[in-house]
Amino acid sequence: MSRQLLVTGGAGFIGANFVHHWCQAYPDDRVVVLDALTYAGNRRNLATVEGRKNFCFVQGDICDRSIVDQILQSENIDTIAHFAAESHVDRSILGPGAFVQTNVVGTFTLLEAFRQHWGVNSKPPAYRFLHVSTDEVYGSLSPDDAPFSETTPYAPNSPYSASKAGSDHLVRAYYHTYGMPTLITNCSNNYGPYQFPEKLIPLMCINTLIGKSLPVYGDGKNVRDWLYVGDHCRALDVVIHSGIPGETYNIGGNNEVENINLVHMLCHLMDEFVPNLPVRPSTDLITFVKDRLGHDRRYAINATKIQNQLHWTPSVTISEGLRLTVEWYLQERNWWEPLLSEEYQAYYRKVYSYT
Residues taking part in catalysis: 135-136, 160
Q: What are phi and psi of 258, to 5 degrees?
A: -65, 145
Residues contacting 200, CB < 8 A, separation 6+ = 259, 262
* Spatial distance between the Cα atoms of 244 and 27, rounded to a whole number of angstroms: 24
Sheet containing 128-134: give its strands across.
Answer: 55-59, 30-35, 4-8, 79-82, 128-134, 182-187, 248-251
Question: Is 52:19 a contact under the CB 8 Å cutoff?
Answer: no
> Which H/E stretch holds residue 187?
strand 182-187
* Spatial distance between the Cα atoms of 349 and 199, rounded to a whole number of angstroms: 15
